[in-house]
Amino acid sequence: MFERMASTTGLFRPRGAVAAGLGLGTSQLGTLQALAASTESVAQIISIAATAEALAVTLTGAVIAGAGEYDGAKGLPPMMVSWVKAIQAEEQAHYEYLTKAGARPLTLTFTVPQNLASITNDSKALLDFVVAAEGIFIGAYIAAAAEFAALGQPGLTQVAYQVAGVECEHRTLANYARGATPPNNLGFENAPFHTVGEAADKVKSLGLLGTPSPAATLHYADFAGKVDRMGVSRWTP
Amino acid sequence: MPEHTGTPSSKLTRRDLIRLAGATGLGLFVTRFGGIRSMAEAAAMSESVTDIINIAATAEAMAVTLLGAAIKGAPGYLNADGSRGLAAPLVTVLKAAQSSEQAHYAFLTHAGAKPLTLTFNVPDPKIATETTTLFKTIETLETAFIAAYMAAAREFAAMKKIDLVKIAVQIGGVEAEHRALARLALGEALPHNLAYEAPMFNDVGDAAAALKKLGFIGGAGSAVKYDDFASGVDNTGMTDLSPM
């Protein structure tokens, strides 16, 4: 069962970016805030990230496997299926890199709570969920990039950036698929989390990491071996 | 607004020493990290925050300008099927992209960035007349912008400028969305074809040099000015026009 790795109840809880300008060259407030907020180590960050990537591989795998059941057996359009396959491949690439780097996913069993059951058979609900979920992942990797910087790891900041960009692509394409106008509706990506642990808390709150009486229980191992990498390049950072 | 035509800093010579010009595609610089990494990192550290945001603001102004020109000329574009006029959904995407680039520009200049120039060039006339050329160009430029903000994020991280790291990722992510949508407009079967965004530059100065080499800055093509398009930006449907 997933347990949150980092505490966010410190003596000093920053409430977002510095309000008065950027503090360019004059303030280390951002650094202090990040250090104060972040009790997460690199290992903790990447383990949480790997868990999220495994979740994504699993859920997308379930969508692919059940593609024909959506919308009253009308099925997902072939283009959408190919897109979901590529998303799964990319999340799997992220998972592989993180685990090779030593990440240990906190769980590889995931749940679909009853209130999200429609994502298993309704394309609109699915796409709404994907947009929201990618938003959480994007926020998580933005937090990770900042935390890695505070930990003196600019190379890992770059990797977090490289992953975040791909999650952003997923977000906008899911937005396009659900008919959002415009699909590229953000001036700046949302950064609601100070730590990756906060993002994990959000995912947990949705019931995806274990919940009573779930609509579905899914195992990463049932889907990881079926990832289709066709058309996807740059398999490592 | 006064134009700045100088190079971002006096450190170009140091960057030149470490830059390996590998022109691919439309001539973008691709730098190798391997054996020169320590030197590259040292050179990258030589860029100040001011250097970085000045270059970034220049790129954003360029994007606002070029997108504005495309939007203005939308009815005249030649499509691959021989029809005329950019499809309405594509114009909507371009307007939204311009809105976000303007938001980036506004944020950077509010923070003190001074763009190096506000006059840009269209190196290939077909960018202004052919839909396929337009979106291939957008894909190429967005790929460069993604890589530029990647370099910025890494440089800010090395400086322990945590807030700036976050902003670089927040902007870079939007540029990644633009890249995918450009590929969608081109009819690519997989708009999101990368598992990791591609690193291309050791530092943001390399990105600026790439834009110059492509002819968008200081080039010979027809000139377009930021001031002619900035006031026409349409924010319809947009949110989060500031990073806070």
**Domains located in chain A, CATH noted:** 42-224 (1.20.1260)
- For the segment A125-137, what is each residue's pLDDT rounded down to a tens digit? 999 999 999 999 9
CA-CA distance, B64 to B67, in Å (whole number)?
5
Q: How distant is the Cα of A114 from the closest Cα of chain B, in angstroms?
A: 31
- Cβ contact B211:B72 at 8 Å: no
The pairing of strands B222-225 and B119-122 is: antiparallel
| Within a domain: B204 | yes
Q: Which two tokens stand for residue B183?
A: 């590929």
Q: Is the pLDDT of residue B126 over 80?
A: yes
Residue A121's Cβ-count burial label (10 Å; 0-12, 13-18, 19+) is middle
Residue B105 touches partner A, C-beta closer than 8 Å: no
CA-CA distance, B59 to A45, in Å (whole number)?
33
> B240 to chain A: which residues are within 8 Å by CB?
186-190
Q: Is the pLDDT of residue B5 over 80?
A: no
* Nearest C-alpha in B relative to A179: B89
- For the segment A64-86, what is each residue's pLDDT rounded down to a tens digit? 999 999 999 999 999 999 999 99
Determine which of B170, B175, B201 to mutate to test the interface with A (most A C-beta atoms within 10 Å): B170
| Within a domain: B15 | no
Q: Which two tokens stand for residue A51?
A: 């868990």
pLDDT confidence bin for A13, thresholds 50/70/90: very low
- For the segment A25-64, what is each residue's pLDDT rounded down to a tens digit? 333 444 544 554 556 899 999 999 999 999 999 999 999 9
The DSSP code for B25 is T
Q: Which two tokens stand for residue A147?
A: 């935390």
Quote the number of domains for chain B: 1
Which domain CATH number covers B205?
1.20.1260
- φ, ψ of residue A223 to 5 degrees: the values are -125, -25
Residue A182 touches partner B, C-beta closer than 8 Å: yes
ipTM of the complex, rounded to two decimals: 0.85
Q: Which two tokens stand for residue B119?
A: 């006059």
| Within a domain: B22 | no
Which uninterrupted H or E stretch holds A145? helix A123-150
More confident residue, B140 or A9: B140
Is the link from the previous residue into B75 a cis peptide, with omega within 30 of 0?
no
Mean pLDDT over the full length of chain B? 86
| Within a domain: B18 | no
| Within a domain: B242 | no
- Cβ contact B209:B22 at 8 Å: no
Mean pLDDT over the full length of chain A? 87
Helix, strand or coil, per DSSP, at residue A219: strand
Range of the domain at B81: 50-232
Q: Is the pLDDT of residue B32 over 50?
A: no
Check B173 against A164: CB less than 8 A apart: yes
DSSP for A38-101, please give it. ----HHHHHHHHHHHHHHHHHHHHHHHHTGGGHHHHT---HHHHHHHHHHHHHHHHHHHHHHHT
Check A157 against B157: CB less than 8 A apart: yes
* Nearest C-alpha in A relative to B95: A182
Residue-level pLDDT at A40: 84
